[in-house]
């Protein structure tokens, strides 16, 4: 073509050819690499098609269009063969190729001249239009990705955070400055506290059903919910501190009690959100462990005390710097008769430790007037970590009544002088549940310090690691235990609170505990004896890795009750925003060791852990409607891409445990570091949580990444199971897509069921608070939160009105916005039945 005719169309065609070549070369090279690893041949063939098409387009030949059409049609056939009509699976397979197709079709006028289109060019355009139509039909074919339109109540305007409170003081109306008036809580019978008008414990009650008999808010009127008050704690990170409050308040009488990310305790008017008092324990920021979170506190009323006695009713909270504080509910002042002027030092017997290493984030569990206390211990640091000892304290005096230290059998008090509780033992970082009638507390155990190697664990550690342990709350002795993972080297600790129910069996209802797991299974046991009430089968587990002689040959699987464990991953499950992303993930899949669940850790190559350590159910637990016999569980469905790192390499990188004087959090090795040191063991650990694509930040596994399901306890059938969480806050390169379609996001934090058939939950990474119809699984109401809702909500009655409250505190690991909000919703005044 003469230079005088080389206009825009000519150069645009050259540009399209260059773009195709730029993508074609790595796709061809990566495709050949994938073939050498035993993977799909598609990418190599597609790379050839792109390059040949680019060659002819560069030469200004219509043959380039035909070659790409053939390549695209082959891509369409391959995509349908490999993943069917799954729109999310087809995104990396068809979106970019379709865009290239449109660009190629746009070159046709330039290839034959603006006005002189040949029959061949016309035919190519027609076939291309049909191909685009087919691609669009595939990408929009999945029914459950329809946008669910809702009429959402707008959030109220932000309220400025209150000034920091140096000492507890009541909030006094401006016109009354002479005599502070603190409303006295109405008398409450502690022994009869239960959900309904009140919400007296983290899980509703210590049985943790997360169920309320309230029914004022229904599926029919929930759309009328409006925000009625908002309270802000003022606790927000100033620098890069890991914040993420997950508080569920407790409500007794006319008061609501809550705690902030840095352990401030506030008493509010349950109806209006007005602040009665706030107590600030002055928790230092350097005491933050995994993150700054206060999941809950404990309410106690001494029915033997006179109504005028100080601290006749009290709230008890744990701080990040390991103090247990009891406050008078009327004044917010420390209880003088509890511990040392209202404070118990939980580091007694623990020994010297670095700030943030032993950092409680969950409330104690109260059973028969005994406060049962565990603690978070930061993962991955060193085998000489603080002890996982569980202790029972008198709720009135704060005195130690017993200690269960599995390394000191038969010894239930403080260690002898000069000694400490056994280091590195499994801990309970989450919330326990308790049965006052049986006098038992049920502990969801973690695993020993150094999660991914167990060569020097004791017999007791191997017995109680990742197990449900029932302790006699009067003595601290083990009543029974059941292990859910044998020789846990996957960080599969039990993160959810066990729920106590009367479980239906052929012989009638049996008092049971339902324990969810990170493998999305539900272990259901007789809570008096520990005997399984479901069939649990020991199945062969993968072997090998770095300690094959110590691995358990089998792992337990529940076989006659639904689980939410998804099928093993395949190469076809790899994902991304483009074919290049997906190709990279396929290569990584083929390079890794993977034999399904419980693939052993490896050092010579990465290994895939699916579900990852954030799989299944975590701190939110499950919710159970005991009247309908329905359990609702939200869960995660994400893999990790891990690799053990030899000790000498860890040392060369300068990655040190938190206890080392030269510890540098910026060098990695912190609780959020890419490599954790696992000091005093042969290996550190590199964890790619969620298994992210390096280019775009998306996950390598195709969606969904999280779901929500309802299970009938009577029939043991799944009533519904669907993706949970929209794509509005997710997208490549961290750019929110704002697409209101259900992709199924990572989610943490549980929900609450009401007698009217609603399930309220935040949890997902889209910052939406939802109400779901438990009969159908359909969303019937939603509102956008100002920060992440990774806390379990609660509901109660105040002044004759049902109110729903959630803490929008966010979570740094979940990458949701950090906030300090407590927000209450109710039906408009006058609209209540």
The stretches of 592-630 forming alpha helices (DSSP H) are none
Residues with Cβ within 8 Å of residue 184, at least 6 apart in sequence: 330
Instruction: For the beta carbon of residue 440, count every other beta carbon within 10 angstroms.
Output: 23
Structure tokens at 694: 């390096």
Residues 6+ apart with CB under 8 A from 357: 289, 377, 378, 381, 385, 386, 658, 659
Side-by-side strand order, sheet with 717-723: 623-625, 630-636, 706-712, 717-723
* Distance spanning both ends of the chain, measured CA to CA: 80
Question: Rounded to an integer, what distance in angstroms lies between the CA atom of residue 228 and that of residue 824?
Answer: 6
Rounded distance between C-alpha atoms, residue 126 and residue 68, angstroms: 14
Order the strands of the 275-279 sheet from edge to edge: 250-252, 255-259, 265-269, 275-279
Cα angle 690, 695, 700 (rounded to 5 degrees) comes to 30
Phi, psi (rounded to 5 degrees) for 590? -70, -25
Is residue 240 annotated as part of the catalytic site, yes or no? no
The first and second tokens of residue 73, run together, are: 């049609």
Q: How far apart are the C-alpha atoms of 231 and 35, rounded to whole Å?
A: 58
Locate tokens 């260059």: which residue?
18
CA 140, 143, 149, 155: dihedral to nearest 10 degrees?
Answer: -90
- Select which of 405, 435, 491, 766 is catalytic: 491
| Element (DSSP H or E) covering residue 19 | helix 8-36
| Alpha carbon distance 244, 237 (integer Å) | 10
Q: Are 75 and 24 in contact (CB under 8 A)?
A: no
Alpha-carbon gap, residue 217 to 833, rounded angstroms: 9
3-class state of residue 799 by DSSP: coil
Each residue of 502-512: b (16+ CB within 10 Å) or e?
A: ebbeeeeebbb
Q: Identify the H or E element spanning 434.
A: strand 433-435
Strands 522-526 and 536-540: unpaired
In which residue are the tokens 């998804």 written?
566
Residues whose CB is less than 8 angstroms from the CB of residue 106 and which lie 6 or more positions away in sequence, other chains included: 12, 16
* Contact by Cβ (8 Å): 436, 193: no
- Of 240, 234, 279, 221, whose CA–CA distance to 261 is shortest? 234
Q: Which residues are catalytic?
A: 491
């Amino acid at each position: 073509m003469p230079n005088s005719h080389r206009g825009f169309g000519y150069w645009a065609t050259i540009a399209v050819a260059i773009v195709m070549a730029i993508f074609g070369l790595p796709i061809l090279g990566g495709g050949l690499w994938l073939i050498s690893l035993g993977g799909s041949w598609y990418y190599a063939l597609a790379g050839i098609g792109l390059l040949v098409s680019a060659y002819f387009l560069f030469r200004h030949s219509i043959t380039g269009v035909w070659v790409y059409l053939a390549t695209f049609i082959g891509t369409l056939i391959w995509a349908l063969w490999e993943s069917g009509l799954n729109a999310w699976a087809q995104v990396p397979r068809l979106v970019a190729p379709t865009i290239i197709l449109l660009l190629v079709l746009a070159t046709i006028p330039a290839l034959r001249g603006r006005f002189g289109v040949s029959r061949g060019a016309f035919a190519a355009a027609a076939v291309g239009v049909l191909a685009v139509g087919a691609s669009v039909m595939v990408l929009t074919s999945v029914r459950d990705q329809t946008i669910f339109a809702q009429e959402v109540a707008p959030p109220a305007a932000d309220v400025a955070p209150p000034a920091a409170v140096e000492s507890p003081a009541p909030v006094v109306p401006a016109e009354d400055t002479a005599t502070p008036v603190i409303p006295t809580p109405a008398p409450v019978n502690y022994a009869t506290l239960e959900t309904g008008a009140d919400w007296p414990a983290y899980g509703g009650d210590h049985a943790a059903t997360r169920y309320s008999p309230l029914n004022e808010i229904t599926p029919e009127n929930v759309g009328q919910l409006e925000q009625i008050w908002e309270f802000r704690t003022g606790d927000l990170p100033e620098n890069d501190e890991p914040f993420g409050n997950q508080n569920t308040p407790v409500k007794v009488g006319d008061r609501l009690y809550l705690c902030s990310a840095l352990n401030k305790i506030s008493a509010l008017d349950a109806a209006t959100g007005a602040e009665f008092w706030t107590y600030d324990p002055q928790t230092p920021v350097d005491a933050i462990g995994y993150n700054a979170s206060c999941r809950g506190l404990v309410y106690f009323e001494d029915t033997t005390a006179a109504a005028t006695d100080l601290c006749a009713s009290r709230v008890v909270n744990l701080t990040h710097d390991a103090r247990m504080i009891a406050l008078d509910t009327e004044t917010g002042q420390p209880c003088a008769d509890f511990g040392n002027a209202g404070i118990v030092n939980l580091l007694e017997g623990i020994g010297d430790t670095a700030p943030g290493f032993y950092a409680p984030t969950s409330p104690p569990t109260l059973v028969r007037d005994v406060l049962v206390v565990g603690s978070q211990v930061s993962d991955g640091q060193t085998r000489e970590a603080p002890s996982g000892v569980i202790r029972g304290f008198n709720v009135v005096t704060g005195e130690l009544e017993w200690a269960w230290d599995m390394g000191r059998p038969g010894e239930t008090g403080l260690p002898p002088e000069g000694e400490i509780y056994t280091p590195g033992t499994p801990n309970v970082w989450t919330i326990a549940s308790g049965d006052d009638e049986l006098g038992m507390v049920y502990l969801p155990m973690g695993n020993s310090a150094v999660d991914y190697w167990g060569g020097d664990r004791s017999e007791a550690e191997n017995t109680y690691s990742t197990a449900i342990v029932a302790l006699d709350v009067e003595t601290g002795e083990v009543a029974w235990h059941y292990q859910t993972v044998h020789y846990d080297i996957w960080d599969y600790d039990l993160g959810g609170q066990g729920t106590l129910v009367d479980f239906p069996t052929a012989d009638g209802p049996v008092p049971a505990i339902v324990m969810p797991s990170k493998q999305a299974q539900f272990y259901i046991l007789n809570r008096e004896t520990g005997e399984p009430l479901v069939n649990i089968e020991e199945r062969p587990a993968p072997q090998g890795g770095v300690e094959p002689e110590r691995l358990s040959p089998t792992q337990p699987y529940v076989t006659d009750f639904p689980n939410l464990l998804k099928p093993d991953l395949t190469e076809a499950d790899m994902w991304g925003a483009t074919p290049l992303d997906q190709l990279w993930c396929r290569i990584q899949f083929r390079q890794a060791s993977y034999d399904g669940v419980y693939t052993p850790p490896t050092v010579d190559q990465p290994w895939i852990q699916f579900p990852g350590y954030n799989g299944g159910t975590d701190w939110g637990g499950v919710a159970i409607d005991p009247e309908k016999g329905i359990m609702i569980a939200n869960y995660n469905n994400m893999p990790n891409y891990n690799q053990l790192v030899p000790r000498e390499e860890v040392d060369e990188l300068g990655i040190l445990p938190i206890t080392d004087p030269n510890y540098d959090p910026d060098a990695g090795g912190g609780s959020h570091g890419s490599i954790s040191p696992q000091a005093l063991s042969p290996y550190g650990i590199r964890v790619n949580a969620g298994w992210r694509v390096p280019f775009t930040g998306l996950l390598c596994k195709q969606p969904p990444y999280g779901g929500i399901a309802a299970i009938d306890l009577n029939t043991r059938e799944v009533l519904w199971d669907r993706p949970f969480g929209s794509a509005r806050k997710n997208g490549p390169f961290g750019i929110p897509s704002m697409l209101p379609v259900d992709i199924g996001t990572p989610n943490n934090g549980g929900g609450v069921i009401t007698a009217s058939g609603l399930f309220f939950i935040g949890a997902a990474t889209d910052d939406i608070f939802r109400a779901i119809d438990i009969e159908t699984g359909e969303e019937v109401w939603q509102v956008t939160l100002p920060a992440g809702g990774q806390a379990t909500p609660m509901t109660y009655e105040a002044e004759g009105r049902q109110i729903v409250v959630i803490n929008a505190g966010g979570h740094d690991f979940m990458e949701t916005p950090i906030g300090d909000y407590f927000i209450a919703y109710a039906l408009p005044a006058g609209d209540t039945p």
